[in-house]
């Protein structure tokens, strides 16, 4: 029984550390956040922080990895239940997840967020899309990689704009718009612009 109580305490401690950090991250850049501020805001001592994380960057990586894994799990049930991959519906599910977890996602996917993390999130969808384009012979792998880079960066920009506009547009609208913006690219490359 004691280990269950200890486990709940650890979960609670990590939760308050994360909430403190996210609150601070909403107000300033990660490089300006100190461990002391995180601990004071979470009402814990530094030793407790260091028993779980090495620094604020380690905490950020763990928060990003947790969010990424949650998005993967969220999509897995949907993608695995479909015999035919539907890019629009899959992208819509990502926009739904982002909206449901807006506070954290807004911070991690904002201009101040880690670009590599942002790319990892968008690659969940577009890697499959690129594989489908190249396996069908529509375009070469090299051309597909250009489309992939352009699409990922564009999607991140669209998500940031969506956040800045208060997420007024629906997830379905956003998914369809992103697909419309990117679907012409393979055909244009196939025609050898």
pLDDT in tens, 119-153: 787 777 666 667 767 777 778 878 887 877 887 78
Q: Does domain 1-53 have CATH number 1.10.357?
A: no
Whose tokens are 């992208």? That residue is 91
Mean pLDDT of 93-105: 86
Q: Is the model's pLDDT at 35 over the cut of 50?
A: yes
pLDDT value for 75: 72
**Which of 122, 187, 180 lies closest to 148, judged by CA?**
122
Fold for domain 60-190?
Tetracycline Repressor; domain 2 (1.10.357)
**Which of 152, 150, 142, 138 lies closest to 188, judged by CA?**
138
In the chain, where the domains are located: 1-53, 60-190
């Amino acid at each position: 029984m004691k280990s269950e109580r200890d486990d709940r305490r650890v979960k609670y401690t990590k939760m308050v550390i994360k909430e403190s950090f996210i609150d601070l991250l909403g107000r300033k850049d990660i490089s300006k956040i100190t461990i002391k501020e995180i601990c004071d805001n979470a009402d814990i001592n530094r030793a407790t922080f260091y028993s779980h994380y090495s620094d604020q960057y380690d905490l950020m990586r763990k928060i990003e990895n947790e969010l990424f894994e949650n998005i993967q799990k969220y999509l897995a049930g949907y993608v695995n239940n479909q015999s035919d991959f539907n890019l629009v519906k899959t992208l819509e599910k990502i926009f739904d997840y982002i909206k449901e977890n807006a506070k954290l996602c807004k911070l991690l996917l904002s201009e101040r967020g880690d670009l590599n993390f942002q790319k990892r999130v968008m690659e969940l969808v577009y890697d499959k899309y690129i594989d489908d384009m190249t396996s069908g012979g529509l375009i070469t792998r090299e051309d597909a990689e250009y489309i992939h880079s352009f699409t990922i960066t564009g999607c991140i920009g669209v998500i940031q704009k969506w956040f800045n506009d208060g997420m007024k547009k629906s997830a379905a609208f956003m998914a369809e718009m992103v697909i419309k913006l990117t679907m012409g690219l393979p055909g244009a490359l196939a025609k050898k612009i």
